[in-house]
Amino acid sequence: MMTDKPCSASSMLGLYIHVPFCSQKCLYCNFFSVRYNDVLANKYVCALSRHAAKFKGKKIDSVYIGGGTPSVLSLRQLQQLSQSLHGTFDISEVREFTFELNPESVSKEKLRFLREIGVNRLSVGLQSVEDMSLKFLGRLHDFKTFCSVYDMARKENFDNINIDLIYGLPNQTLRDWEQVIKKTLAFNSEHLSLYPLSVERNTPFYRSNVITCDDVQRHMYDRAAEDLANKGYIHYEVSNWSKQNRESFHNTNYWRNFEYLGLGAGAAGYLGRERYKNIEDVSRYVDLLKDGCNVEIENEYIDGKIYEVETIILGLRLLNEGLDVSYFKKPKHYSVLLECLEDGTLKIEYDKVKLTEKCVFIFNHIASKFV
């Protein structure tokens, strides 16, 4: 039945662990994180271990430690985190284990330790190669620091690295962006994530009225797509490019609407037919777990109807994989599909519905028609 989850969905389980600490908040960012403090981070790592214990014995296929800034944790805290991970879950067959790094908080010792505990993929936030832009964004690192961290990671045998970039900053010209792409491509990383700057509420950028331009961002996106294709990168998701067979397995399973556990303050999870979100307050998260209480603050039952819409919206993000045409049987979805086929925003290839290349940049607009 179309409304049932595909059986492969129930046999794949990802694990996301949120580390909600940053050395300093970037001026554009509204992800949940607070300023790093050693005492609170020690308590947090203990709380994560208590939280994990609730899922003892679960078999995990992929792990993603993200933030915030996971690399801001001390070596000692990383060791403790790894102990609870290895002691709680069955991670013997984890295929991909990603760890997010911010260049200013990386050391050789941390990288070596991460490699030892099974991390086989790194995601590094570069954002820009121009020191002026990095300053403008409120980043703590410069380009030189990124270069030495990247080099260190290669020396520690990391052969699967993602680089995050942000484009369409105010005053950034197409020529500037071409230089960012050129210098980034020189690293020959296995994966690239490119995001148009989005001015989010509750950020200093929002309060100081930073303005971005859709048209400029669109041109920048087009240029990147062309340059990356010329270098052999496959555009497999709206904002993600990779070398052959280097797509993020963990993230791809989100887009396939598969299940995942979310540990940590502010993390979301999706288990059985329920989506949940953990409390976005580090101290409360720590205290609740100490008292043996529940940290989930939002729970939503995903019925067949919600599941179908979510699967369509997430699945269309996978540009090459697409989504089986059978997901569009409902009259509303079918008529939107026909409309999109007619106006050329979607296409069908071997029974898979896919976004057309020219419409990737306006994905959100197309997705909203199915809601």
Residue 265 sits at φ, ψ, to 5 deg, of -65, 130
102 is a contact residue toward ligand SF4 (CB under 6 A): yes
Burial 331-365 (b: 16+ CB within 10 A, else e): eebeebbeebeeeebbeeeeeebbbeeebbbebee
Applying CB under 6 A, among 32, 55, 113, 195 the residue interacting with ligand SAM is 195
Distance CA 199, CA 308 (A): 30
- List 62, 88, 102, 257, residue binding ligand SAM (CB under 6 A): 102
Among 12, 122, 153, 166, binds ligand SAM (CB under 6 A): 166
Q: Which residue number, 60 or 134, has a Cβ lying nearer to ligand SF4?
A: 134
**Which of 15, 17, 26, 197 is close enough to bind ligand SF4 by CB under 6 A?**
26
**From ligand SF4, ligand SAM, none, interface partner of 184 (C-beta below 5 to 8 A by class):** none
Phi, psi dihedral angles at 324 (to 5 degrees): -60, 140
**Residue 358 CA neighbour count, 13 Å, CB half:** 5
CA neighbor of 31 nearest in space, from 201, 163, 269: 201
- Which of 96, 100, 237, 259 lies at the binding interface for ligand SAM (CB under 6 A)? 100
- Least Å distance, CB 341 to ligand SF4, is 38
Which of these, 228, 256, 239, lies nearest to 361 by C-alpha position? 239
Virtual CA dihedral for 20, 26, 30, 33, nearest 10 degrees?
10
**Counting contacts by CB under 6 A, is residue 29 touching ligand SAM?**
yes
> Which CB, 49 or 123, lies closer to ligand SF4?
123
Give the separation between CA 220 and CA 223, rounded to whole angstroms: 5
**Residue 266 interacts with ligand SF4 (CB under 6 A): yes or no:** no
Kindly state the tokens that stand for 48: 């994560």
25 binds, among ligand SAM, ligand SF4, none (CB under 5 to 8 A by kind): ligand SF4
In this complex, which beta carbon is closest to ligand SAM, that of residue 167 or of residue 307?
A: 167
Single residue of 12, 17, 18, 33 touching ligand SF4 by CB under 6 A: 33
User: In 10 A of CB 319, how many CB atoms?
Assistant: 18
Number of H helices, E strands in the chain: 14, 17
Query: Does position 319 bind ligand SAM by CB under 6 A?
Result: no
Q: Which is nearer to ligand SF4, 68 or 269 (CB)?
A: 68
Identify the DSSP state of 137.
H
Q: Report the half-sphere exposure of 213 (CA within 13 A, side-chain side).
A: 9
* DSSP-based three-state secondary structure for 148: helix
Size of the site for ligand SF4 (CB under 6 A): 11
Q: Which of 16, 36, 49, 69 binds ligand SF4 (CB under 6 A)?
A: 69
Any contact of residue 22 with ligand SF4 (CB under 6 A)?
Answer: yes
Q: Which of 125, 168, 264, 266 binds ligand SF4 (CB under 6 A)?
A: 125
Closest approach of ligand SF4 to the CB of residue 33, in Å: 5
Q: Residue from 85, 197, 279, 355 that binds ligand SAM (CB under 6 A)?
A: 197
Q: Is 68 in the site for ligand SF4 (CB under 6 A)?
A: yes
Q: Judge whether 255 and 317 are in contact, CB under 8 Å.
A: yes
What is the DSSP track for 216-253?
HHHHHHHHHHHHHHHTT-EEEETTEEESTT-S-HHHHH
For 321, the token pair is 């994989």
Which residues lie near ligand SAM (CB under 6 A)? 28-29, 31, 66-67, 69, 100, 102, 125, 127, 164, 166, 195, 197-198, 200
Which residues lie near ligand SF4 (CB under 6 A)? 22, 25-26, 29, 31, 33, 67-69, 102, 125
